[in-house]
Every structure is written in structure tokens, then in C-alpha cells.
Amino acid sequence: MGPIPKLERNLPPQDPLEYIDVDAELNLNKHIKKTANNNEVIRQIALETINIKYPKDKWFHVYTDGSLLKQYDGAGAGVHSAYFNHYFKLPDNTTVFEGELAAIECALKQILGRRIKDQQIVILSDSQAALQKEKQSRENLLREKTYENISKEYDKIANFTRKRAVAHFRLYTGHNCLNDHLHRMGLVQNKLCTLCDLNRVQDAEHLTKCPQLAVSRQINNDLTYLYWAARMKMI
Ligand SMILES: [Zn+2]
């Protein structure tokens, strides 16, 4: 038997955005409106864009995808490339958007952990919102190290029930599914509350005032409870 090969230690978990320079490209080569009947056209234009901007002989391609899992109450995330493939389930109460983000994060960690060097890498996601978010994260990180602040807050809520923790985390970071944030991400037409007719911005503060949540407030005036009450009514 030969000598035991020396194993290289895995890198400790870190925020990949601190180590990788990420640029987000959000446009196809041609402008096109997404409608139900032109998926094939969009697919062709996307492939054309990829081939022109990121030819396979010069770029390492990583595909990411997030989806809702029918059999579970939560999202799934997938990462595909020539070197690695991953598919995993996210916790309950997660959204497609979070699935997309988790897939991109997984891709970044794989790229960092495997130390793929000397090659340009492109992560291909069909979620414009997720790419925009990743770009913003990078900018926030450089500006104020938001991740550190958020992780400290996350320690505080470790003892909450999962559902309450999710709501608290979303409300604290501002990355929630209320119209104020959804509008910022370009996912809804405007940021006003669609539950009532007060024409107020639907943010965390509005949850304490929205007349449609009056009964919910009597049951439990906790913001995390009101968050889920609002979300249930919005679906
Ligand atoms: Zn309202």
C-alpha cells in the first residue's frame, strides 16, 4: 500500500461574493416581451446571446435554476455544469425566487471551493430578479458589509419557530414578499397595498395599519404573524 495521499482541507464556509468578482448581465441581444406563446423564440435568442457573448471555448458555463416543488411546501434549486451538478430542497415556506438565489449561491460556492482558475466563468440563470439581487448584494457588501449585520441578527432569531424566523428575517433585511420590495425587484406593477384601498405603500409598517389585517391584529399583533396573514391574503 502506498502512502496515504494528503487531503487538501476544504475551505471554511464563506460568502463567495467577497472573493469572486461578479458582474451581472441582464439583457438578451434582442429586446423581447415574455408572453406565454413565445417561449421557443426566447429560448433561441437566449442561446444566440450565450453563444455570442460567452462562447464555450472561452467560458465555463454554469446553469442555475429555482423551482417550486409540488410535493413539498418550499422551493428547489438546481446547479448544472460540466464539473458539478447539484439539486437540493430549500426549507418550507421558501419561494421560487429564493430557489433561484440559493442555486446561484451554490454555484458561486462550488466555483470558489473548486478553485476553478484560469478560466472565465459565466453563471446562466433565467431569473432577472435573482441576478439583479446578486449584483445588489455585491454592491451592498462593498458599501457596508451587510452580510455581517444580517448574520448577527440571524443568531438572535435562531430560537424562533421556522415560520416566524423566516418572516422576521425577511422583514429585517427588507427582502420580503410585500409589494414595496416586490416592486423594487420589478415583480409587481406598483408598491401600494393591494389588500385595502388606502393607497399606502405596502411595507412592514403598513402591516400594523392595514384595515384588512384588523382581525389578524386582534388574534396576534406580532409583526411576523401579520406578515404571514398578509401573504396568505395576497395569494
Ligand atoms: Zn393595506
Summarize pLDDT for 11-65 with one digit per residue, the tens.
444 455 555 555 666 555 555 555 545 556 666 666 777 777 788 888 888 888 8
CA 139 / ligand 1 centre spacing (Å): 32
pTM of the model: 0.45
CA 182 / ligand 1 centre spacing (Å): 15
CA 96 / ligand 1 centre spacing (Å): 25
CA 196 / ligand 1 centre spacing (Å): 4
pLDDT at 145: 39
- Would you give per-residue pLDDT tens digits along the chain (235 residues)? 455 555 555 544 445 555 555 566 655 555 555 554 555 666 666 677 777 778 888 888 888 887 776 666 778 888 888 787 888 888 877 877 888 888 888 888 887 777 666 677 888 876 666 666 656 655 554 444 344 444 454 455 555 666 777 777 777 777 788 999 888 877 788 999 999 999 999 999 999 999 999 999 998 888 888 998 998 888 7
CA 223 / ligand 1 centre spacing (Å): 14
pLDDT at 197: 94
CA 230 / ligand 1 centre spacing (Å): 9
CA 235 / ligand 1 centre spacing (Å): 14
pLDDT at 211: 96
CA 193 / ligand 1 centre spacing (Å): 5
pLDDT at 166: 74
pLDDT at 202: 95
Every domain of the chain and the residues it spans: 33-147, 157-234
Q: Which CATH number fits domain 33-147: 3.30.420.40, 3.40.50.300, 3.40.1180.10, 3.30.420.10?
A: 3.30.420.10
DSSP string, the chain: --PPPPPPPPPPP--GGGTS--------SS-----TT-HHHHHHHHHHHHHHHS-TTTEEEEEEEEEEETTTTEEEEEEEESS-EEEEEEEET--HHHHHHHHHHHHHHHHHHHT--SSEEEEEES-HHHHHHHHHHHHHHHHH-HHHHHHHHHHHTTTS-HHHHHHHHHHHHS-SSSHHHHHHTT-SS--B-SSSSS--B-STGGGGT-GGGHHHHHH---HHHHHHHHHHHH-
